[in-house]
Chains A and B, each alone.
Chain A
Amino acid sequence: MRAGGGGIVVRFTLNGREVEVTTRPNATLLDLLRNELKILSVRRGCETGECGMCTVLVDGLPVRSCLMLAPQVDGRSVTTVEGVGDPERLHPVQEAFVEAGAVQCGFCTPAMVLTAKALLDRDPNPDERTVKEAILGVLCRCTGYAKIVRAVRLAAERVAGGVRE
């Protein structure tokens, strides 16, 4: 990280690629991703840390990018849903979301998928309560969460070959 000409240069890994960008020191990670880097799957739902729409993974853990300053990711690794899978090669979590009907308006979906992936990466075999606790910070106004929870458990089943009751 170095300061220069009114901006600050931040270097980090974004979805496996090294990036270097100049940004305002007080820019949030959300601003950086959406406005500078045009990663539009990271969404703005409140900008005050209340809705979870802006969730990304920083070093594998879910973070609300509207609450993090862009320079804080210097030297770290950021994953957005673009880095998780694409239509030709869906991640098992994405596949499960499609199959279980866990998608309605889709606005919360990237945040949900990332949160679920982070959960399964550290706990391949979560029970229902654990899934609900993991996605607690991401609101969804459409689905009532039922099919989202089912999708996460379906993905776990596929990846780990079993879930606890």
Chain B
Amino acid sequence: MSSSSVLEEIRRAEEFLVVGKGVRRIDALDKVTGRARFTGDFVLKDALHVRLVKSPIPHGRIIEIDAERALSLGPVRFFTAADIPGENQVGYALPDQPLLPADKVRYVGEPVALVAAPDEDLAEKAAELVEVRYEELPAVFDPLEAMERSDVLVHEDRGTNIAEMTRVRKGNVERGFEESDVVVENTYRTGHQEHAPLETEGAVAIPDTQGGVTVIASIQYPHLCQRITARVLGLPHSMVRVVQPYVGGGFGGKDDMGPVVSAMAALVAFKTGKPAVLVYSRRDSFTSTCKRDPSVVRYKTGATRDGRLKAIEVQIILDSGAYANRGPYVLWRATMHAGGPYEVPNAKVDGFLVYTNKVFEGSFRGFGNPQVQFAAESQLDELAERLGMDPLEIRLKNLLRPGSRTITDQLLESSVGIYEAVKLLGEKTGFRAKWREYRRERAGRVRRGIGIACGYHGISTSRGVPDWSNATVILGRDGSVTVETGICEIGQGSWTAHAQIAAEVLGVPVERVKVVGGTSDAPDTGATHASRGSSIGGIGVYVAARRLRERLADAAARLLECDPSDVEIREGRAFRRDNPDDYVEWEELVQAAYGMGYEMSATGYFFLPKGKFDMERGLGYAYPAFSYIANVAEVEVDLETGKVRVVRVWPALAAGRILNPVLVEGQIEGAIAQGMGYALTEELKFEDGRILNPNFTDYLIPTSLDVPEVEEPIYVEDLYEYGPFGAKGVGEMALIPTPAAIMNAVKNATGVRITEIPATPEKVYFALRRAGVVAGE
């Protein structure tokens, strides 16, 4: 049986035992009892503690590094680029990023050297005493300026500060605008966002007896970590073993930082023969890890009188900071999602990724998409206003449906549930009536408003780049089930979803299944990013479990003396469908199958078919499927302080089968809080490239008192043929439309459009003043 026909069969099944249920997390007990171990907990005896020596300047040549005073403190070891035995290169999309720079530094906070000592205080002191002499170079901080300049180059060898350009050319935008009755044009700006996982980045490296190294680290992709670490050490991949313990939040950042921090710790372990521990301080985590790319988005939209979108022309500028890292892929994603989940017949999108002398940017939940959806969804409300329509109406007119084409001209045949989701959401929230009422009222110091915004997100990697899934499932002689996968558990619950998939297919209770994940010992399953952990990652588990189930059905048929097709396995028992009293217990069955010579382990490899993509015109097959989301937000704006309080959010999700509603709700609630922080308070402040607020007192992530009520989500289960049981991705979704939903609500409350986030009280207050909503002094 081919794997796709198996998927088809399961997708159609209506009744599940475990899938779709709020099954308890398999790691919950470890976590509530405090037994869960995180990277920093693995401090072995005689381990060396590693500290970073960081650049205090944004741009300059390294003239000399003097560690004499540091070394005189005691048993201190010291490492620079010159100590790297392999290739000093950790760049992701482009080979532009050294692990430790040999010639010049490009941002304040860039690690230039490592110091290691047997105790933390000593390492700390020694790091402070390392003296680095620089020849300072002029620096650029503003991406718009950096684009134009060729006299100040962050990377001289590239000859320009533009790291990547992308484009989409669909239809004819000139004609589209001519045919439009209204055209709206605005510029939107978004700021940096720090991931702020409560567990900072970290790695523990342990040398092994064969000259290799084992790395325990806070990561999102063990095999990438293995490849980069091996490259830096000049070892074959097989000599580097990577294991994730529990990870205290990732949100994308640890996908990028995991390999870097691992390679640093591994370098120390490799050179000294001792275990090395590198755990970033909170300050390091602010100054020296990637952030969400700030953006400037110029957006022009045209529509006919009856509200049909005719054309968009969009320019996206992403500030990449000192290195490209994932930037080119972030930019591609932003570019291809620039239209929003709507039918737009004519689209011209240009993207630019620009180097500046600031901390580098990287993966963060949403991956370029929140920036453009903020612009696209704000535009739509402005357009509606000009047309005298309400925000719901204009969306319902233009939303993608099965049979629609995206702005890259990809045909969406099925699994497009956004229209239904928005319709239901409008009804549930009484959106129209509230929106009209708040707009009419607009009185008093505290104004109430309601806003809606949609989003979509291609699951899996962009531009038709092939994707795959892989996993191993092993049945023990005692009937226990082990799932091995490279997918990481970073809090989102993918291992629980994996256990559910295996349990469902095999017909055993979830408690029987143990998931060993996040390790390079498992097959390479790709990264835990792009909302692919449970969706794409789960397919491999599904395929492997399915193979075992066929063998078990065979074995059971021999025991029950019937045909394999008459065997049912569920809840830990195999029985004859026509006579459930004639059964064998699971353990017995597995043992018997072993005795009969069946192989009781199986791998599940699955290659995800994709279509063609034309890079020149940015047209073609962008993603195998999209997940969809719509949020309605209700806010209160205090006119005197400019403070925006988000009172309530109603989410609606069309992400295929909901494998575990409790986990999905958790993802939605967390993403809304993070999206609200991004929209309102999380402002990274810079002065000459230096971060002024590298701490939680001045960089404000939402607390328990800041977060809104999140209503129970509406689910439209628009099943997807290649997802396990029809599931698509969930993790990133609810963050994506949150900033626009909030700003659209602010507009409804005050009549003022905020085009720049974070919309801190100060910014809102001055915008209200400029618009004359509040009087100036």
Chain A residues with CB under 8 Å of chain B are 40-41, 43-48, 50-51, 53, 80-82, 85-87, 90, 94, 97-99, 101, 103-110, 113, 131-133, 135-136, 138-149
Contact = CB atoms under 8 A, between A and B. Distances in A.
Nearest to B25: A103
A104 B281 contact: no
A46 B32 contact: no
Given A44-B40, A50-B695, A101-B663, A145 B30 contact: no
B704 A108 contact: no
B434 interface: no
B132 interface: no
Most buried by B among A85, A103, A140: A103
Interface string B672-714: 1110000000000000000000011100011111010110000
Contacts of B492: 104
Contacts of B31: 103, 106, 109
Given A105-B249, A107-B249, A141-B196, 18 more contacts: A40-B34, A44-B40, A46-B282, A46-B695, A47-B282, A80-B34, A81-B33, A98-B24, A98-B25, A103-B31, A105-B197, A105-B247, A110-B34, A131-B704, A139-B198, A141-B197, A144-B670, A149-B704
A40 B41 contact: yes
B198 A45 contact: yes
A165 B589 CA distance: 52
Nearest to A26: B121
B265 to A, nearest CB: 17
Interface in B276-308: 279, 281-282
A82 B248 contact: no
B41 A146 contact: no
B28 interface: yes
A142 B666 contact: yes
Contacts of A131: 704
B400 to A, nearest CB: 28
Contacts of B35: 41, 87
A108 to B, nearest CB: 5
A106 B491 contact: yes
B673 A145 contact: yes
B434 to A, nearest CB: 22
Nearest to B490: A105
B249 to A, nearest CB: 5
Given A105-B197, A141-B674, A146-B707, A82 B34 contact: yes
A45 B701 CA distance: 14
B641 to A, nearest CB: 20
B669 A106 contact: no
Contacts, number: 166
A94 B704 contact: no
B282 A98 contact: no
B38 interface: yes
Contacts of A133: 704-705
Nearest to B668: A144
Contacts of A141: 195-198, 249, 251, 670, 674, 701
16 contacts: A43-B40, A45-B200, A48-B695, A98-B29, A99-B24, A104-B670, A105-B249, A107-B198, A108-B198, A110-B34, A139-B701, A143-B666, A144-B674, A145-B702, A146-B710, A149-B704
Contacts of B319: none
A41, A107, A135: most-surrounded residue (chain B CB, <10 A): A107
Contact of B662 (A46, A101, A106, A109): A101
B665 interface: yes
Contact of B38 (A98, A99, A107, A135): A107
Given A105-B198, A141-B251, A132 B246 contact: no
Given A46-B696, A51-B696, A143-B666, A136 B703 contact: yes
B37 A40 contact: yes
Contacts of B695: 46, 48, 50
Contacts of B28: 97-98, 103
Interface in B7-36: 22, 24-25, 27-36
B199 interface: yes
Contacts of A98: 24-25, 28-29, 32
Interface string B193-219: 001111110000000000000000000
B493 interface: yes
A139 B32 CA distance: 16
B29 A105 contact: no
A48 to B, nearest CB: 7
A3 to B, nearest CB: 19
B666 A51 contact: no
Given A132-B704, A132-B705, A144 B673 contact: yes
Given A43-B199, A48-B282, A106-B27, A143 B669 contact: yes
Contacts of A149: 704
Contacts of A82: 33-34
Contact of B696 (A50, A101, A146): A50
A118 to B, nearest CB: 15
A142 B705 contact: no
Contacts of B493: 104
Contact of A47 (B281, B704, B709): B281
Nearest to B197: A141
A99 to B, nearest CB: 8
B32 A90 contact: yes
Given A47-B282, A104-B492, A107-B38, A142 B249 contact: yes
B696 A43 contact: no
Contacts of B491: 104-107, 142
A136 B705 contact: yes
Contacts of A104: 249, 491-493, 666, 670
A133 B701 CA distance: 16
Contacts of B30: 106
Contacts of A44: 40, 279
Nearest to A24: B121
A105 B704 contact: no
Contact of A144 (B29, B195, B710): B710
Contacts of B22: 101
B696 A105 contact: no
Nearest to A98: B28
- The winner among B24, B34, B492, B703 for most chain A CB atoms within 10 A is B34
A135 B38 CA distance: 22
Contacts of B24: 98-99
A18 B397 CA distance: 70
The 10 closest A-B pairs by CB, nearest first: A41-B34, A105-B491, A106-B31, A107-B248, A144-B673, A144-B669, A50-B696, A81-B34, A104-B491, A101-B662
B199 A105 contact: yes
Contacts of A86: 33
Interface in B238-253: 246-251
Interface in B385-419: none
Nearest to B248: A107
Contacts of B705: 132-133, 136
A143 to B, nearest CB: 5
A137 B75 CA distance: 39
A100 to B, nearest CB: 8
B550 to A, nearest CB: 34
Given A97-B28, A107-B38, A144 B672 contact: yes
Interface in B250-285: 250-251, 279, 281-282
Interface in B610-624: none
A154 B671 CA distance: 23
A142 B663 CA distance: 11
A53 B673 CA distance: 19
Nearest to B698: A50
B207 to A, nearest CB: 23
A90 B35 CA distance: 13
Q: Which of A51, A109, A146 has the most CB of B within 10 A?
A: A146
A91 B749 CA distance: 45
A103 B32 contact: yes
B41 to A, nearest CB: 4
A99 B22 CA distance: 10
